Every structure is written in C-alpha cells, then in structure tokens.
Amino acid sequence: MVKPELLAPAGNKERLKWAAAYGADAVYFGVTKFSLRARAGNFTLEEAAEGISYLHHRGKRGYVTLNVTPYSDEYTELITTAGELEDMGADAFIVADMGVITALRKVGIKVPLHISTQTNTMSAQTVLAYHELGAKRVNLARELTFEQVTDIQNRLKGSGAETEVFAHGALCFSHSGRCAISDYLASRSANRGECAHPCRWKYALVEEKRPGEYIPVEEDGRGLYMFNTRDLAIYRYVPRLAEAGVNSFKIEGRMKTEHYIAAVTRIYRGILDGNPMPEEDIKAELLKIRNHGYTEGFMGGMPNDYCAEKDSVNGTYMLLATVTDETKGGRRVIRVKNSFTPGTEAELLTPEGIKPVTIPPVYDAETGEPLARANNQDSCVTDDVLPPFSIIRKPI
C-alpha cells in the first residue's frame, strides 16, 4: 500500500514553511483572488512562485485553491491566473465549480484538478463522474461515515480516481460548507470566500408576543451555541481509512497560526508514519491549541456532539514566540506573539518532540540592545541555539 499524503494548510508564505517543516507532504494555499478564504492572508503570484519553489526544493508539493464560485465575467482572469500558476509549477488546483473544471481543460491547462469539499461528494458515482471530466482527486464530504467512505473506496478500485478526506479542523454548520447565513446576516458570501462565521455567534429566542424579551437557548444550564460546531479530529480513524485506500488526509486551517499548523501536522505525521503518539498525549496536545472542543463528526454515525458548548474555547497553552529559520547578525530571529520575560520556564515544540526550555536572553533585532521584556509583535534575536521552526509556549 502506498503511504497516503498528508496535506496541510498555509495562509501565508511563513506558515507554508512551518507546514513543510512539521511533516506535510503537500501544502495548499490560495492566491489573492478565486479562493474561498478571502481573509486568509492569501499569496500574491510572486509569493506563490516562491512558495512552490520552496516546497519543490524539499520534495513536497504545492496545491492552489481556485475554489470560488465565479461569475461569468470572471472566467477570463481566472484562466489567466491558472496559466500563470501552471508556469510556476503548481502541482494541483483545488476547484469546486463545474464551469471552472471544463474551462481549464478546454484551454489546455494540464495541472491536475482536485475537487473541493464544496461539491459535497457523497458517492462513488460522483467521484467517477468528476474523474471522467478530468479530475485526478475528489475530496469526500465530511458528512460520510467510516463505512460509507470504505464502501466508496471499494467501488473505486481500479478506476485511478483518488480520494481525499478531511482529518482535522473547523467544521461548518451547513452541509459541506454550502451556507447562506453569512450572506443574510453579514452581507458577506461564504461561497465567495467572505464568510463572517455567524454560526459562531450567540443566539437567543424571541416570542412574538414578548418583543424585546430575549430568551437564551440553554442546555443543562450551560449556554448552547446551537449553530456553533466543534472541531473535527478523526485521528482514531486515520489508520483504517488509509488501509481502505484514502489517498490524502487534509488538515483545515488556512486562517490558523503557526502553533496550530505545527501541533496538528506533527500529530498526523506520526500517525501516517506508524509512530503515533499515545491517544492521551494526542488529546492533551490538541487541547493546548485554540479549539472549539472536538468531535469525530459523522465517522461513527450520526453525531451527538457536533455543537460546541461555548462560542470559543481557548487552548490550555499560550503561544509566546516562534523561532524562525532566519538569522540576523549571527543571531537566531524570534518572532514574539505574546509578551514574555527572558528566564521564563516554558515548553519548546519542535518537529522531533516536546521538551522544557528556559527562554534565553533576547536582543532587539535592529539595535542589538538586550530586552528585559519582549512585547507582542517584536522581532528579536538570541544567541542561544534554539532549533529553527520551534514553538515557545507555556500554560495559560
């Protein structure tokens, strides 16, 4: 059996490097137009070229999201953009619209097409239909059970069609992300990359004869955010899904931080390599990053834990700083995310593992002056040999 691919997200070029460092086989990202994450910090075409080159030099692949549902007058620019990305060596385009699929093939674009979750593909017949149209891979809907995914894989044997399954990340209240709530409440179209995430907002009921009296929606005395979903985490199913023939496991999160990308990618890398962390360690590690609580979604059948109990849940650890692969004046560059004092006892997350660390002396990156305290968004340097692509964090 060929080892499945681990596909990680990147909202900018810096995070692309982190995804690669922590074990992603491929990284997906969007450009400034035609992406369903309009506020994800998408790449310019120049940054896309640099990102693809960076990945290729490390034996990894770069996929570009062109998964918006375009209007008729946008196709010319979309096709031109696709042609430029093809010249850069993009390894695949993630698409969701039938017109985009046929238009790219009609003009001779040879880049492999991967069908997005936005198409909510629920059957082997639909996978094969996209394959006949020229798609190489189809992302299966999150609303499928393990048995249904396995059945699809059995039906696809010998077809050459590849499948992809979301393994981890934020879920959408609507079916496979097809939502109109954001359009209605925030005048921002979810299917144009502008989702305002109104499903995360707090709602109350109003009875028509009691105007102005807001009744909270509660469950067991704890507020219930009825549209607000937990985060998907199907790490227990990944080995069996891989054995069934799933070709790629995808991590959601083009708007997420380096801490999220590093922690989650490292967990699933270990699972796919046959060296998983103990389940209790996985649970503890996932709680360290910002989350909405976790669910296995529909993998085990109709879920009863799909909705979160709160509007948001902070992780149990605070990200203090990221250690980059850059040097300045012979010193390692550190990017400060939350204020800290040198000498603080913290935890260091690296691709190889987790260990305690005492934060070393740091210096202003411009003046070289020692800092008694590093503040948010400061760029500082250190003489200490902290490994590149490591996370400095501490319990909240």
The mean per-residue pLDDT over the stretch 213-240 comes to 72
Torsion of CA 163, 165, 171, 173, to 10 degrees: 40
> pLDDT digits over 107-146, tens only?
999 999 999 998 999 999 999 999 999 999 999 999 999 9
Looking at residue 82, what is its pLDDT?
Answer: 98
> pLDDT digits over 59-92, tens only?
999 999 999 889 999 999 999 999 999 999 999 9
Structural domain boundaries of the chain? 5-175+229-295, 317-395
What percent of the chain shows pLDDT beyond 90? 74
Average pLDDT for the chain: 90
> pLDDT digits over 19-48, tens only?
999 999 999 999 998 886 666 668 999 999
Contacts of 250 (CB under 8 A, 6+ apart): 7, 28, 139, 164, 165, 166, 167
Query: Could you give the CA distance from residue 145 to residue 138 in angstroms, rounded to a whole number?
Result: 16
Highest-confidence segment of 77-91, 172-186, 192-206: 77-91
5-175+229-295 sits in which CATH class?
A: alpha beta
Residue 2 has pLDDT above 60, yes or no: yes
pTM here is 0.88
Looking at residue 130, what is its pLDDT?
Answer: 97
DSSP 317: E
**Where does the pLDDT of residue 224 fall: very low under 50, low under 70, confident under 90, or very high at 90 and above?**
very low
Q: What is the DSSP string of 194-223?
A: ----GGGS--EE--TTSTT-PEE-EETTEE
Query: Could you give the CA distance from residue 332 to residue 349 in angstroms, rounded to a whole number?
Result: 16
Higher pLDDT, 354 or 183: 354
CATH number of 317-395: 2.40.30.10
Query: Could you give the CA distance from residue 222 to residue 311 in angstroms, rounded to a whole number?
Result: 12
Looking at residue 387, what is its pLDDT?
Answer: 96
CA distances from 71 to 11, 78, 152 (A): 24, 10, 32
The dihedral sign for the CA sequence 341, 343, 349, 350 = positive
By CB atoms closer than 10 A (0-12, 13-18, 19+), residue 367 is exposed
Nearest to 139 by CA among 113, 165, 171: 165
